[in-house]
Amino acid sequence: MTPILLIPGLLCTAEIFAPQMAALWPYGPVTVASTLEGGTLPEIAANILSHASPRFALAGISMGGYICFEILRQAPERVIKLALLDTTARPDTPEQTAQRRALIALSRKVRFKTILGQMFTTLVHPAHRRNSHLRDIQTRMGLAVGIDGMARQQEAIIARADSRPDLSNIAVPTLVLVGDKDPLTPPDRAEEMAAAIPEARLVIVPDCGHLSTLEQPEAVNRALIDWLSPAV
């Protein structure tokens, strides 16, 4: 069976993939990578590779997708399959960079739990904004990463490369998945990647925001199982 390596997003722990762990286990041993070591995406990717199986199916959500692109740059021969969830191949815009640095500064002045609560409503589908279970998970993950961890991750994201020129070189079965109402990496970003990656499969998940693995776990699990299943 193929080892499966999952990479969390910004301010996320392994809990972002909790609904996927049991569903994917029959298809191969599942590992969730740590994104807390390293100050740049290349450093984070290198650390993940140093602990990973020789070859693996690779999936990342949001910032985890940016790290997937770095892993492909550093060790493309180790990646058997690729899944890009709620992410983009584009670099940060100046406006996004300014927003990230403003959030870091605010997080050092205001109660971090309050900041996380405010962030939650900007991440999920409007129908999920009052979902206390999802909010609790997002808050728990953010507190586990912490302000310093978040600041390192944000600076790494700010400095990330433009991965669009690399998309046509991806030569493994690829899933590109996005929530239909993802406010951060909207469907047009997923469509852009799927169009550029040879034979990529695009899945747009209904009634879903940026936290697809938690918001619509059954739909995401179906897409990932299809991705992992051998071609008939």
- Spatial strand order of the sheet with 174-179 comes to 30-32, 4-7, 56-61, 79-85, 174-179, 201-205
Residue 110: the pLDDT is 85
pLDDT in tens, the chain (232 residues): 899 999 999 999 999 999 999 899 999 999 999 999 999 999 999 999 999 999 999 999 999 999 999 999 999 999 999 999 999 999 999 999 999 999 999 989 889 999 999 899 999 999 999 999 999 999 999 999 999 999 999 999 999 999 999 999 999 999 999 999 999 999 999 999 999 999 999 999 999 999 999 999 999 999 999 999 976 4
Q: How many CB atoms lie within 10 A of CB 196?
A: 18
Residue 232: the pLDDT is 46
- Of the candidate CATH numbers 3.40.50.1980, 3.40.50.620, 3.40.50.1820, 1.10.3720.10, the domain formed by 1-232 belongs to 3.40.50.1820
Single-letter amino acid, residue 214: L
Residue 141 contacts residue 16 (beta carbons within 8 Å): yes
Q: Which residues does residue 7 pair with via DSSP β-bridges, in sequence order?
A: 60
Whole-prediction pTM: 0.96
- What is the C-alpha separation between 27 and 12, in angstroms, rounded? 24
- What is the C-alpha separation between 181 and 204, in angstroms, rounded? 9
Residue 231: the pLDDT is 63
Give me the residue spans of the domains in the chain. 1-232
